[in-house]
Amino acid sequence: MLYEVCLQGRGGQGAAMAARVLVQAACLEGLWGQAFPLFGGERRGAPVYAFARISDRPVRLHSRVYTPDAVIVLDRALIEAMGVRVKEGGLLLVNSPARPHSVNAAKARIFWVDATSIATQLGLVIAGWPVVNTAMLGAFARASGLVKLSSLREAIRMTWRGELGEVNARAAERGYEEVMGA
């Protein structure tokens, strides 16, 4: 089993960190993985990609993910700007308060969650930008079934200590509970 994920977001939303936390949660369940970002000299607000590979065997492939099993879009405005390529029957998760209608992801299972509201309500805002990564990971855990919420919470608490870890764990729980889709 090799499951590939592409995260699309803007600098500062936590796409790269989300990929790392997702892989860490999978490793806590005895799986293997790798996570890496793809960006240049961008700054906060610029489009970025991050990738995660999760497998039941060591991951030896070291390249960009071109046709992922799942795409997680942290900012729905990027759907058209960056394009969405997901395997047929794959999963598309979008940070949106309602089902995204501008999505051209034929034969993908589409899910959405209002991660921006979750992050804002929990105070996960840096320099005016809601940090939506952990809410999106919670939604992904439920939509995909790839990792358990308990493993995700543990990986989050290992990444952020103290109160920040607890707030991010709550964001993941809310994302898990509030995700919508087919």
The per-residue pLDDT for range 55-80, each reduced to its tens digit, is 999 999 888 888 999 999 999 888 77
pLDDT (0 to 100) of residue 167:
98
The per-residue pLDDT for range 80-114, each reduced to its tens digit, is 766 667 888 999 999 999 988 766 666 889 999 99
Q: With contact defined as beta carbons under 8 Å apart, do 175 and 137 qualify?
A: yes
pLDDT (0 to 100) of residue 139:
99
pLDDT surpassing 90 at residue 27 = yes
Portion of the chain with pLDDT greater than 90, in percent? 70
Would you say how long the chain is, in residues? 182
Task: CATH number of the domain at 86, please.
Answer: 3.40.920.10
Per DSSP, the three-state class of 118 is helix
In the block, residue with structure tokens 């509970």: 177
In the block, residue with structure tokens 């995204």: 100
- Orientation angle between helical segments 15-28 and 149-159, nearest 10 degrees: 120
* Confidence tier at 2 by pLDDT (50, 70, 90): very high
Instruction: Report the 10 Å Cβ neighbour count for 159.
Output: 16
Burial zone of 91 (CB within 10 Å; 0-12 exposed, 13-18 middle, 19+ buried) = buried
> Per the structure, how many domains does the chain have?
1
pLDDT surpassing 90 at residue 128 = no
The per-residue pLDDT for range 162-181, each reduced to its tens digit, is 999 999 999 999 999 999 99
CA distance 62 to 77: 29
Portion of the chain with pLDDT greater than 70, in percent? 91
pTM of the predicted protein model: 0.93
Q: Which helix (H) or strand (E) holds 159?
A: helix 149-159
pLDDT surpassing 80 at residue 44 = no
State the residue range of the domain holding 86: 2-181
CA distance 89 to 98: 21
